[in-house]
Amino acid sequence: QVQLVESGGGLVQPGGSLRLSCVASGLIFSINTMGWYRQAPGKQRELVAVVTRGGSTNYADSVKGRFTISRDNAKRTVNLQMNSLEPEDTAVYYCNAHLTAFGGERDYWGQGTQVTVSS
């Protein structure tokens, strides 16, 4: 059974930093893209950043220059370094992986981790 487990959320003041981590486990044959999405109250889930197996990245315009995504293919991890956090970054952050496992190829999601930016 494939699982994505996130860690690193919490409460931080505006201008502060947080680092989110996600590890994939289970009978996984290959992982294509890994990424982070977020959902604020009353809003739809949106892309934050994604990284391909080869290391190409894509960011939402709202986080460019502030957030950095990275992955370790051997460890099956993806991280999101978030700097210069703003109250608008407050949301539940979800790890996503598009991978091939015993049951086939599809998207998997973590359970979500809360990030709150407030003074």
Convert the chain into a string of H (helix), E (strand) and C (coil). Answer: CCEEEEECCEEECCCCCEEEEEEEECCEEEEEEEEEEEECCCCCCEEEEEECCCCCEEECHHHCCCEEEEEECCCCEEEEEECCCCHHHCEEEEEEEEEEECCEEEEEECCCEEEEECC
Per-residue pLDDT, 98: 97
- The pLDDT tens digits of the residues spanning 59-108 come to 999 999 999 999 999 999 999 999 999 999 999 999 999 999 987 999 99
